[in-house]
Chains A and B, each alone.
Chain A
């Protein structure tokens, strides 16, 4: 029995099924969290490396970075997953790697969202005021040192709200990794659906993903408050715990939300 009425009629038994299946569901949550955390970390590294490479002095570096970004941004995440899981093992030696499902998921998520992130990093580097670049030049600091000591710390505060959005998208995008046999949260919910019906199972899935997304929002808000405080825009985190629960990128003036 399905539908709204079925949902309420069978709420009790369904909850019992959910509790009974909780060990597997927790396994799924663990897989989703791992793929999201490691994929996010890889995406961050790729975003920073290729974001900076796109503003490099040498044209060859810029063009190579540009091609990389366009390729992984422009090809579907599903296709990338299938390539890594099913095509890569068939390639001749030395490329015939058979990767574990988690590795496939982390690589594909990291490459795909890292390519988007690289655009965010590039944009935020370009948003640091021109005067900062001029001051670096006027002090004869090398462009490399200026980039890492002056520009990146300021760009970091600018890029965090967008990176936060990307990371949440990565979490939600990770729901397709069961297609390459990583038994994630979505896969486990699918299993429960057989017994409980679509209404109950997918309502649970909505809630579970929503709560996971909130964890990301809180982590990223903490990083953003800290980064903004470091460049003199906003209060310290220890004085503004409430900021952890607001929308990413909110403007803060004098400790109050605006």
Chain B
């Protein structure tokens, strides 16, 4: 506890709910595949490939037709710059948060792009997935994406 000059005591205060949630059949398969170094998307009845997968077709509410592998390269559809990453961020150096539409996917997924500046990651940039060295079954198993040289 600090004692500031005005005599009023101050202390850090963290309120945390330490939830652990069950994943269900679809997300369980997705995260298990991530741990094993594979990225899966959900194919809907209308033929769209939703990445990351959803349990239900967002257009009809029907169950998805199945899960299938997705390409590890894609295109940036939107990006913003994180100049001062916090401990909870994926990368500790400044990076771009980007929506990335992987080849063959119908939707874009949010992830980090390791690059020097936002100018290095304009819309349309081709990026490639970089796996984390140790994988546990979380979205952090994808370390980041990086521009394809």
Q: Do A and B come from one complex?
A: no
A residues near B (Cβ < 8 Å) are none
